[in-house]
Amino acid sequence: MTVTVYKSTDASAPVLTGQAGKLIDLLDAVLVNGYGSKAAQGWSKVYSGTNKAAYRSNDSTSNRFYLRVDDGATITAGLGKEGAIRGFESMTDVDTGTGPFPTVAQWTNGMVWTKSTTADATARAWCLVGDGRTLYVRLVNGSQSLLGGFGHCNSFRPGDNFNSFIAGHAVNGAAAAQNTMGTAPTVNGITQASQVYLPRPYHQLGGAINIYPNMYPLYNNAANNVLILGAVTVAVTYGWLVTYPTTIDQTMHFLPHGIFENTSGTTWNFRALFPGMYVPLHSNPLTDLDTVPGGTLLPGRTLMGLTFNSNNAGGAPASQFLVDTTGPWT
C-alpha cells in the first residue's frame, strides 16, 4: 500500500482554520478527493450533514469501521476550534451508529482534534500521513502540535476483527498539553493514560477500551527517579539513554510503537503495533518534519519526525515519533 504525506505547505493544499467545517474540508481533500498532485487515500465519505461527516476506508484488508467527525460542535468557547471525533463499528446515518469507540460514557462529546486556538480565519499548519487504511493527523493549533489518528493497527491476535484505533485528545488542547498517542511511562515502561481507544478488547467481547501506548522504553523518568528498563534507581533529568547518532553504527535507533491492554491491575497484554510508527531512542533527534534514512533497522526506508506536545510529568516540553514515509506499513 502506498504511503502519502500531506502537508499544509503543499501546492493547492486546503487551508485549515478555527472555523466550523474546515477540518471536514481537509479530510475530504486527503481522504476522498485529493488535491494538487496528491492522490486521495481512497476512503469514502459515507454520510454527511452540516459540518459533519462519517468516513471509512475502502481497503478490504481493514475493518472498514467509521470515523465520525463533528466539525461544528460548540465544545469550548468559539464554534469550530475543535472537531469532535468518534469511531463506530457500523453506522446508518451521520448521527447514528453502533459499537462506538470511545463510548459516550467514556467521552460524552467524543475526543477532539483541535484545529486552532482561535475561532477565526487564521491559517494553521498541519501534516497528515496515511497508507489507505490508517491515517495519522498532526495539527499545529497555534500553541501546540497535537497528534491523533484513526484506522488499522497490526494485531498480534490471530483473527482479530477489532484491530482498529482512534486517537485524539481532551477538549481544549489550546489550554493544556494532552495525552495523545503516548506520554512518559509511570509503571514498567507503560504509559498510564492516553486518549487512544480500540473498539473491543483482545477477546472480542464487550465495548470500547482505553489502551496504553508504550512510548518510552528507554527513558529516564526524573519525576519517579527510575530507570525504566533496569533495576537501578537514578537521579537524572528527563532524557533518553541512547545518544544520536549512535556510537556503534552512526545511525538513528528506534523501536515500534506498541499498544497495550491493561486487564487487571499490573497485568498487561501486548495487543498490537501502530503501523508505520516508531519511537526514537533519542531526545527529539530531528527537526519537525525532517527526514532520515531508516539505517540499520529499516534499510531502504525513509523516516519523518513528527513532533508534538505532551503532558509529560516533570515538564518535558515535547515528544517525537518517527513515521515511515516509504511503506508498506506491515
Domains in the chain: boundaries: 4-324
Q: Within 13 Å and on the Cβ side, how many CA atoms surround 253?
A: 16
Non-local CB neighbours of 48 within 8 Å, separated by 6+ positions:
54, 94
Supply the pTM of this predicted model.
0.89
Tell how strand 267-280 and strand 145-152 pair up.
unpaired
Q: Regarding predicted confidence, which is higher, 241 or 51?
A: 51
| Enclosing H/E stretch for 101 | strand 96-101
Q: Is the pLDDT of residue 128 over 60?
A: yes
Which residue in this structure is represented by grid cell 465544545? Answer: 75
Report pLDDT for 233: 41
Comparing 116-125, 226-235, 262-271, 287-296, the range with the smallest average pLDDT is 226-235
Distances (CA, A) of 58 to 32, 152, 217: 10, 12, 35
What are phi and psi for residue 29, nearest 5 degrees?
-65, -45
Report pLDDT for 184: 44
Q: Regarding predicted confidence, which is higher, 236 or 101?
A: 101
